[in-house]
Structure 1
Amino acid sequence: MDHPLIFGFALVATDVVVWRCAVPSNEVARLLTRLGIYAVFSALLFDAGLSPFSEAPFDASRGLHVAGAVLEIIWWLTGARLLSLVLDTLFLPKMWRRQRLFEDVFSAVTFLAAVVASLAFVLELPVRGLVATSGALAIVVGLAIQSTLSDVFAGIVINTTEPYEVGNWVSIDGVEGKVLEMNWRATHLLTGQGDVIIVPNAVAAKAKITNSSRPAALHGLTITLEITPEARPGVVLDALGLALKGTRAVLADPAPSVLVKGACVQSMSYEVIAFVDDMGKKSAVANELYDLCYRHLAAAGIELRAPGEPRARDLAVDLRDRRIGVLRRVQLFGALPPDDLARLAQALTCHAYEAGEVLITPGTVSDLLMIVDSGVLSTVASKGEEQIEVARLGPGETCGEDGLLAGIPARVTISALTNSVLYSVKKDALTPLFKSNPEIVHSMCAEVSRRQHTLDKMGTAKSAVRSEESFFQWLIDRVRELHDLTL
């Protein structure tokens, strides 16, 4: 039991335990531990008279001879593995390590070299003939797996030039998706439909690649609109420019832009280009832009209809129809009966505001419901010394509900971001509408409750309103009291 070979196998078993149990948990510490075990193992072999560069001694005992040969072969194979781990852990960039390609290729080469060295030094086999034979065999195998080798070398090129990395959103050969894995054969993409598509490296190396994740904080989006040619391009461009200003997620640098893409008898094509700082925002911002473009075009009097279709009436519409159009763009009033709309339209008053003009300040109690007809408003809340923009309001959106419904002081500053036109209606004119359409009251109270909750989550100054009941129910009770309603 005192023979040094026993301790050699014990060290090999210890190395296997460290490898399989991942002890210690830190990768670098674990590698250093294995290197230490390997150094002790090497010293033990040489001390016992075993050299991995020669055949094992102990000819008098066949058992000891075989055991020595096994330890020498293990020395070569373990050394090859540790060499590849040192390269992978200490020298390769993190991105290359995630892709595994270089580690796999280098490991295969080092293990092949270790096997050949074991055959030549430990077993003293004639490797020259083996190498010559293997060369001819390699030619035959290479021809048989030509496409696979093409993928391997293409993978080396891709990993070296780094057109994309794991986690990027790319388009390769017309296939768009998120890069899940890059290995020696192919790139794995997760598409927007949840499917995994495997693109061979040879195809990716020759294809046109679009990497939407670079630059990391800059992602462009484009929407195209077909507008009737009867609309003056200058008016359309102004309306679409306001739509871009109404989206907080759009970056100011690079500046968004609108251009006339083309013109024909049936329509004129306009392109809206914007940039966001997160790939995940592109779809949501594109949808928001479509909605804002629709509302701002409608506010500019540009009808969204089939190109070439004649107008139902002349361009000059009377003020009453204009006011009804403003009310119909408000989601709250869109489903009201024509008679109620007509009565409410008569109570509307028009106001024009210049950019930078303040409409509502914190602490004021509004008795007006204000409806944005055109332009963009900015809503800003105070959090200590910091001013935070909470929202932007465009055509069809409203403000002032807090004071109108329940006499709640405003917690935000609302100002005109651009030149804007608003219509307002007083509380007395809304009370009859509330009585005949109680669903409007519930919708407005829900919106006010949502806004108050958003401000609370942001940590802004709390409202003076306190109640043991839910805030929504408190609002309903206040509306009953202020407007003398039965809901």
Structure 2
Amino acid sequence: MNGFLPLVIECLSLLAIFSVASGLTMPLRRAMSTHEHPERGFVQALRNLAGHISRPLAVLIISEALLAIFRFTPQLRPHFLELPDHVKAWFSFWVIALSLNLVEGIAKEVFTVRGRPFPIPELLNSIIRTVLYVASALAVLKTIMDIDISPLLASTALVTAVVGFALQGVLSNLLAGMSMHLTRSVMPADWVRIGDVEGRVMETNWRETRLRTHGGHIMLVPNSIVANATIHNMSRPATLRRHSVPVGASYSDAPGDVIDALLQSALSVPEVVPDPPPDAFITEFKDFGINYVVRFWTDNYHDRQAIDGDVARKIWYQFKRRGIEIPFPMSDKLLNDMMAVVSHQRRLPPEDDEIERRVGDLKESDFYTRILVDADGQALLQDGELRQVATRMRRIRYTVGETLFNQGDSGDSCYVVVRGCLHGRVEYEDAREAVEFDVGPGVLLGEMSLMTGLPRTATVTVREEVELLEIPQDAFVCLLALHPEIPGVLSQMVARRAARNTAALEKLKCVSKDEVAETLRQENILQRFLRILRHGSARK
């Protein structure tokens, strides 16, 4: 055969060998773990190494098998064995490629075993690999096939210049991608804002950076735009970032109370870190109120919209429970008139329908069935007397994630759950597993601290939004003063209940054994009731 036909057949045969080897080894190469998300383990390390060397090794094996066939086929032997330099060059190139891939695979696995990222970014690694392949091919052509590569290099330089001029945008993206990989300004898994686009970096390649937004959209940003933009990286060098939530309060509310409510609201959100601690301060005096800002730190700044919203939600509940008003813009006269009305309404007793609701909630709760009945199950108070106690209670609301009280806190009030669900946790000194429980509507919480003076025996948090009736100490004083026999009856009831739980109470983290024994004696409980009653009468 004359002309270029043998060369064309040879090239097509080599291309077929490469294609078959690539197809056969694709599963192995896909099974490799990347160095951005390394997987450790001896089996995975072997799988990664096999993936690195699989293609050049498969090319060599297939080539050797075909050569064996050609040697033993008389019709094909003259055509494929008459150019031994070509065969030698082909095998030499793939042996070099096998060596390069083996060295690369071993180097990556060494860094993976040490728990460190591979220092060369993937894009730059691919470019270096390609350059080494081209250099190896040129070296093989020069040394084995004795081809003068000078014209080839000159023509390659000319073609490179022409292609570079024609593909300026592509080369700009390529160089920008190399720069980003070298400086590591944007890496996979980082949360970044590039111009108007914000999201998690999924991948960076030679042309573009892929971001996944909060809404799940995949945004492709050319590397040249990334290189020229101001990048807000929310993951590097550390994830800790500060948030700010502005809020307003009325002039009638003391700044100290407002700031305390803001700090408590921020700390009640799980994502807010306690160190550095949050802070809050006044930013401006407006015509209709005082503007504040609360600042806090989290490790999830990219999720700031949800976190800031959660803090704002907690602020609303804190303000409502503390009677702090959030103002809205209005004229001076309207503001003064409204504040006068609000101040007057705060001093008014609850309306009759609200009093009846409180009485009804009390009668359906453990407060009535466990405390306001005697040993025979007879009610200690009539509805009219319950109304006197109910006027001193208040209805409060808590939202999900807030803490009603902590184990070990002092307590001068108890609560009736009207609706919703709370979660309790009791910890013991003997390191046994903590006891956890849920409570729902009708349950009475915190009465032992109010009646005995012991610290809170559990930590209670809000599992779902709850409405509570708070029974403060002045309501308890009113209850004790209704009938002379009530302090004695209640002290006996509390002492009996405490005696059944003495063993468990003595093992709590928050109290000592001696303190429990002394406090829960009936005469001491009665003395506490009488002391509370005297103090309440003195204040009146």
TM-score in same-fold range (> 0.5): yes
Q: Deviations over 1:41-94 (max 9, x none)?
A: 8xx9xxx9xxxxxxxxxxx95531336514522431452365156336515966
SS of the aligned residue for 1:303 comes to coil
Is the CA contact 2:289–2:327 (under 8 Å) kept in the aligned structure 1? no
1:83 matched to which residue of 2?
A: 100
Q: How does 1:271-310 map to 2 (within 5 A)?
A: 271-278=293-300, 282-308=304-330, 310=335
- Distance in 1 between residues matched to 2:143 and 2:306, nearest whole Å: 66
1:369 to 416, 441, 461: 416
What TM-score, normalized by structure 2, do the two folds share? 0.54
CA offset at residue 176 of structure 1? Answer: 0.7
Q: How does 1:81-480 map to 2 (within 5 A)?
A: 82-84=99-101, 86-87=103-104, 90-91=107-108, 95=117, 100-214=122-236, 218-228=240-250, 231-278=253-300, 282-308=304-330, 310=335, 311=338, 313-316=341-344, 317-321=346-350, 346-349=390-393, 357-359=409-411, 369=416, 380-382=425-427, 385=431, 401-403=442-444, 413-414=458-459, 422-423=470-471
Is the CA contact 1:172–1:204 (under 8 Å) kept in the aligned structure 2? yes
- Distance in 1 between residues matched to 2:274 and 2:443, nearest whole Å: 31
- Distance in 2 between residues matched to 1:325 and 1:284, nearest whole Å: 35
2:374 matched to which residue of 1?
A: none
SS of the aligned residue for 1:198 comes to strand
CA offset at residue 183 of structure 1? Answer: 0.9
CA offset at residue 234 of structure 1? Answer: 3.3
Write the letter of the residue equivalent to 1:296: Q
- Distance in 1 between residues matched to 2:443 and 2:213, nearest whole Å: 44
Write the letter of the residue equivalent to 1:291: R
User: Would you say how many aligned residue pairs link Structure 1 and Structure 2?
Assistant: 373
Is the CA contact 1:356–1:415 (under 8 Å) kept in the aligned structure 2? no
Q: Is 2:25 the counterpart of 1:19?
A: yes
Distance 1:368 1:181, change over 3 A: closer
SS of the aligned residue for 1:75 comes to helix
Higher fraction of helix: 2
Q: Deviations over 1:313-357 (max 9, x none)?
A: 0524215249999999xxx99xxxxxxxx9699444479x99963
SS of the aligned residue for 1:167 comes to coil
- Distance in 2 between residues matched to 1:284 and 1:154, nearest whole Å: 34
2:516 matched to which residue of 1?
A: none
RMSD of equivalent CA atoms: 5.4
SS of the aligned residue for 1:320 comes to coil
Is the CA contact 2:250–2:289 (under 8 Å) kept in the aligned structure 1? yes
Q: Is 2:69 the counterpart of 1:69?
A: no
SS of the aligned residue for 1:164 comes to coil
Is the CA contact 2:244–2:295 (under 8 Å) kept in the aligned structure 1? yes
- Distance in 1 between residues matched to 2:204 and 2:51, nearest whole Å: 24
CA offset at residue 180 of structure 1? Answer: 0.4
Write the letter of the residue equivalent to 1:381: V
Distance 1:181 1:304, change over 3 A: same
CA offset at residue 296 of structure 1? Answer: 1.8
Is the CA contact 2:49–2:105 (under 8 Å) kept in the aligned structure 1? no
Is the CA contact 1:97–1:103 (under 8 Å) kept in the aligned structure 2? no
- Distance in 1 between residues matched to 2:394 and 2:27, nearest whole Å: 76
2:486 matched to which residue of 1?
A: none
What TM-score, normalized by structure 1, do the two folds share? 0.59
- Distance in 1 between residues matched to 2:144 and 2:392, nearest whole Å: 99
SS of the aligned residue for 2:426 comes to strand
1:4 matched to which residue of 2?
A: none
1:363 matched to which residue of 2?
A: none
Is the CA contact 2:191–2:201 (under 8 Å) kept in the aligned structure 1? yes
- Distance in 2 between residues matched to 1:78 and 1:129, nearest whole Å: 26
CA offset at residue 209 of structure 1? Answer: 1.8
CA offset at residue 105 of structure 1? Answer: 0.8
Is the CA contact 2:177–2:206 (under 8 Å) kept in the aligned structure 1? yes
Distance 1:412 1:88, change over 3 A: farther
- Distance in 1 between residues matched to 2:155 and 2:415, nearest whole Å: 94
Distance 1:17 1:399, change over 3 A: closer
SS of the aligned residue for 1:241 comes to helix
- Distance in 1 between residues matched to 2:440 and 2:241, nearest whole Å: 32
- Distance in 2 between residues matched to 1:297 and 1:399, nearest whole Å: 24
Distance 1:292 1:259, change over 3 A: same
Is the CA contact 1:327–1:345 (under 8 Å) kept in the aligned structure 2? no
Is the CA contact 2:193–2:233 (under 8 Å) kept in the aligned structure 1? yes
- Distance in 2 between residues matched to 1:215 and 1:387, nearest whole Å: 39
SS of the aligned residue for 1:269 comes to strand
CA offset at residue 122 of structure 1? Answer: 4.3
- Distance in 1 between residues matched to 2:240 and 2:351, nearest whole Å: 40
Q: Name the stretch that deviates more: 18-27 or 301-310.
A: 18-27
What is the percentage of aligned positions where both structures have the same residue?
Answer: 21
Write the letter of the residue equivalent to 2:458: T
1:481 matched to which residue of 2?
A: none
- Distance in 2 between residues matched to 1:260 and 1:273, nearest whole Å: 12
- Distance in 2 between residues matched to 1:17 and 1:91, nearest whole Å: 24
5+ residue gaps, structure 2, are 1-13, 30-42, 69-76, 363-385, 396-404, 446-455, 462-468, 480-540
5+ residue gaps, structure 1, are 1-8, 49-59, 334-341, 361-365, 372-376, 392-397, 405-410, 430-487
Distance 1:145 1:16, change over 3 A: closer
- Distance in 1 between residues matched to 2:81 and 2:49, nearest whole Å: 34
Larger Rg: 2
Distance 1:184 1:325, change over 3 A: farther
- Distance in 2 between residues matched to 1:390 and 1:209, nearest whole Å: 46
